[in-house]
Structure 1
Amino acid sequence: MSIIKPLTLFSHGDTPNPTKVAIILKELSIPYKVAMIEWDNLHKEPFTNVTPNGRVPAIDDPNTGITLWESGAIIQYLIDTYDKEGKISYSSSPERYQQAQWLFFQTSGQGPYYGQAVWFHKHHPERLPTAEERYVREVERVIGVLDSWLQQHDYLVGDKVTYADLSFIPYAAAVPRMDFLNQYGKIFEGGKYAAYQAWLEKLLARDSVKKGIEPTAELIEGAANKIAK
């Protein structure tokens, strides 16, 4: 595509999954505009014509005529369509499937567990200590999975940053600011998960991430509160 028309990214401004997509768009230098959807309009037409799930993000690509929702599917589409040179991806096997493996772990593990941790600590109408502890433990488990891999590898796949790494950033960047995690011991105390921390610092230094990552902890908490309504 010699001239790329701007894509539309549907967002609300206070949820991490659109940020995840925005980082990929910036990495690939894909022009886009943001369509802000108010919370009261998420489950109404015309937005439900874009996504029956009534959640952000979603995209509309005038270059191909495709409308998509679900952040993982959007990222895979952007990679397949706009990263032909492999700037942040591999097309070879087994790397192609390993990237998908980590992306699925992010969308099924990191995102839901982190969101539930915030919900039960900040927004649930009654205290449920067992639920609170469960999701804090899941946050640390996810970090531990990443750290165990990163102790032996610089990146999640291959020898460069890929969309697999970048997909974890919006939630990962918020963890140090989740004060309730300290109820169960400081996760990073004593240099714990050092490989994970070094990896995260490298990713946070990228221009695409710096431009797309804020806000983080407030962003997740606001999303959890609104989604429950």
Structure 2
Amino acid sequence: MIDVYTWPTPNGHKVHIMLEECGLPYRALPINIGKGDQFQPDFLKISPNNKIPAIIDPEGPDGEPISVFESGAILLYLAEKTGRFMPASVRGRYDVLQWLMFQMGGVGPMLGQAHHFRVYAPEKVPYAIDRYTNEARRLYGVMDRQLQSHDYIAGNEYTIADIAIFPWLRSWQNQGIDWADFPTLKAWFDRIGERPAVQRGVQVLADLRKTPHTDAEKEVLFGKTQHQKH
């Protein structure tokens, strides 16, 4: 059974969805990022960047346990482990990899910043709100255009690229998005959301998550605690 050290965030849900889609047995172990669980020494041993999710698979590729951190790397690992949601051809593989990198380098960081400055920031900074909201809209436009000629993000098959992107779009309202501007992407979003494994994946630990209202929680998530020695 795979141990998943996680929290109900978009990056956590990527891995929950993948595990559900693959039918792999797993145990979700909550890492409460509002309380600072991500800085505990045992967690840092498997996730030195103090970010969720991370996994330990007791049946690694050489028959020995393996730990993997970074959600994109975990998706790749699980795809290779199961032979699912990643094309076999070299060309198809790179079609998926480029869109996975698009999510890791663009969709996640930029939509996260839009969400932060629109919702969590203690003061409203118009420049930051406009900067990241505009970038969110640009990224939604990129995906909308891609889907006008493809059934899925990386082509005509459902892959880890779709799994990686979907959870990040669930907070579209907090990112300043109007779905009317992106009808093709909205149709994809609804279609992915209807998948039973996706529905199960986004419910993993969902009852534990609260918006970080307290100053202490915000300090742990966004303040200097992030770079202090632990």
TM tier relative to shorter chain = 0.7 to 0.9
Q: Residue 54 of structure 2 aligns with which residue?
A: 58
CA contact (8 A) 1:58 1:67 kept: yes
- For residue 123 of structure 2, the aligned residue among 108, 123, 126 is 126
Quote the offset at 1:219 in angstroms: 5.9
| Cα offset, 1:80, TM superposition | 0.9
Q: Which amino acid aligns with 1:73?
A: A
**Contact map agreement 1:143 1:196 (CA 8 A) in 2:** yes
TM-score calculated relative to the size of structure 2:
0.84
**Following TM superposition, by how much is the alpha carbon of 1:41 offset from its aligned partner in structure 2, in angstroms?**
2.3
Q: Which amino acid aligns with 1:149?
A: Q
**Corresponding residue for 1:188?**
179
Contact 2:99–2:161 at 8 Å: present in 1 too?
yes
User: Paired residue for 2:141?
Assistant: 144
Please tell me whether residue 159 in structure 1 is matched to residue 153 in structure 2.
no
Q: Contact 1:118/1:221 (CA < 8 Å) preserved in 2? A: no
Measured after TM superposition, the shift of residue 188 of structure 1 is: 2.5
CA contact (8 A) 1:12 1:38 kept: yes
| Deviation, structure 1 residue 159 | 2.2
Residue pair 1:47, 1:54 contacting (<8 A) in 2 also: yes
Q: What is the SS of the residue equivalent to 1:34?
A: strand
Quick check: 1:103–1:164 contact (8 Å CA) kept in 2?
yes
Asked if 1:200 corresponds to 2:189, the answer is yes
Which amino acid is 1:164 matched to? A
Match in the other structure for 2:221: 227
Paired residue secondary structure (2:3): strand
Instruction: Give the equivalent residue in structure 2 for 1:24.
Output: 18
- Distance between the aligned counterparts of 1:10 and 1:168, measured in 2? 20
Corresponding residue SS for 2:90: coil
Q: Which moved more, 1:24-33 or 1:114-123?
A: 114-123
Q: Distance in 1 between matches of 2:209 and 2:137?
A: 20
Count how many residue pairs are aligned between Structure 1 and Structure 2: 211
Q: Is the 8 A contact 2:47 2:54 kept in 1?
A: yes
SS at match of 1:46: helix
Q: In the TM superposition, what whole-angstrom CA distance separates every residue of 1:90-146 from its partner, at most 9, and x where no partner exists? A: 010211011010011111111111111111122222221000111111111111000
Paired residue for 2:111, among 111, 114, 122?
114
Q: Which runs of 5+ in 1 are unaligned?
A: 1-5
The one-character-per-residue Cα deviations of 1:21-77 (angstroms, maximum 9, x if unpaired) are 110111110110011123322112111111111110000000011101100011001
> Any conservation in 2 of the 1:118–1:220 contact (CA below 8 Å)?
no
For residues 154-185 of structure 1, the C-alpha deviation after alignment (integer angstroms, 9 at most, x for no partner) is 1123322111112111111221x32x72xxxx
Would the aligned equivalents of 2:95 and 2:155 in 1 still touch at CA under 8 Å? no
In 2, the alpha carbon distance for the partners of 1:56 and 1:91 equals 29
Residue pair 2:148, 2:184 contacting (<8 A) in 1 also: yes
Conserved 8 A contact 1:16-1:220 = no
Q: Is the 8 A contact 1:150 1:156 kept in 2?
A: yes
Gapped runs of 5+ residues in structure 2? Answer: 224-230
Hey, what does 1:48 align to over in structure 2?
44
TM-score (norm 1): 0.85
Residue 219 and residue 142 in structure 1: after superposition, are their counterparts in 2 closer, same or farther (change >3 A)? farther
1:150/1:196 contact within 8 Å kept: yes
Q: Given residue 10 of structure 1, which amino acid in structure 2 is its aligned partner?
A: Y
Percent identity (aligned): 32
Measured on the aligned residues, the alpha-carbon RMSD in Å equals 2.3
Q: Which residue of 2 aligns with 1:3?
A: none
Change (3 A) 1:161 1:220: farther
CA distance in 2, matches of 1:219, 1:115: 16
